[in-house]
Amino acid sequence: MDELKIIEIKKSVFADNDLDADALRKELKGKGVYLLNLMSSPGSGKTTTLIRTINLLKDKLRIAVMEADIDSDVDAIKIREATGIQSIQLHTGGMCHLDAEMTRQGLDGLAMEGLDLVILENVGNLVCPAEFDTGAARNAMILSVPEGHDKPLKYPLMFSVCDVVVINKIDVLPYFDFDIEKCKEYVHMRNPKAQVIPICAKTGEGVEDFARWIENEVKSWKNS
């Protein structure tokens, strides 16, 4: 297998990230590449969820993944080995989030020709990534059962910028005080339109619902 591509992300120089994000979104629309920004806490299961989801989608969509991490390559390698798709690692060098310009640095490292979907796995953090528009068509997040159903109360911005909230690790529901209905209620306090999709990335349960959400999203975006 080829050596893993690792991109050391530099600090952005753009003053207005929102403007830059809109410009990037327009560029990507022109290229027909849908960018999904996936966020979560550390250890919520982003990588495992992606592997399952990509394996359901890779015959229908041409997908690439950018794995942002402060300082490790394990996730990009895991994704590539488990799915065979194009996967690169972005090192943020201590930075707690990605903005549009940093996302662009990552995209420049991808072979974009013919891609339908690029998934950005953002830095594991429920605070800062929510503050920076990456230029993605949509934001998605994963909340895992062990983190608790009260997280939309404590991290309001993250839940208000996400269009879909995947609740992962539902296999361990019996061992935690996690109330899915309460969680949905709290999510909808932040974003009434957010979809909530319970899954177990470990066993695959429910992952087809998330895959279907992505597929429909990409299709309706292409036709819009």
Pick the closer one to a copy of itself by CB: 47 or 103: 47
Q: Which of 156, 180, 196, 208 binds a copy of itself (CB under 8 A)?
A: 156
30 binds a copy of itself per the rule CB under 8 A: no
- Report DSSP state, residue 60: T
Query: What stretches of the chain adopt beta strand conformation (E)?
Result: 6-8, 34-40, 63-69, 86-91, 117-121, 138-144, 164-168, 195-198
Q: Which of 4, 19, 70, 111 binds a copy of itself (CB under 8 A)?
A: 70
Q: Which of 24, 65, 123, 199 binds a copy of itself (CB under 8 A)?
A: 123
Q: Which of 153, 189, 204, 216 binds a copy of itself (CB under 8 A)?
A: 153
Separation CA 50–CA 65 (nearest Å): 9
42 binds a copy of itself per the rule CB under 8 A: yes
Pick the closer one to a copy of itself by CB: 72 or 216: 72
Give me the least distance between CB of 103 and a copy of itself, in Å please. 17
Which DSSP helix (H) or strand (E) runs through 188?
helix 180-190
19 binds a copy of itself per the rule CB under 8 A: no
Give the distance between the most distant pair of CA atoms in the chain: 48
Burial 103-127 (b: 16+ CB within 10 A, else e): bbbbbebbeeeebbbbbbbbbbbbe
Residues that bind a copy of itself (CB under 8 A): 41-44, 69-72, 74, 94, 96, 123-128, 131, 144-148, 150-151, 153-157, 169, 171-172, 175-176
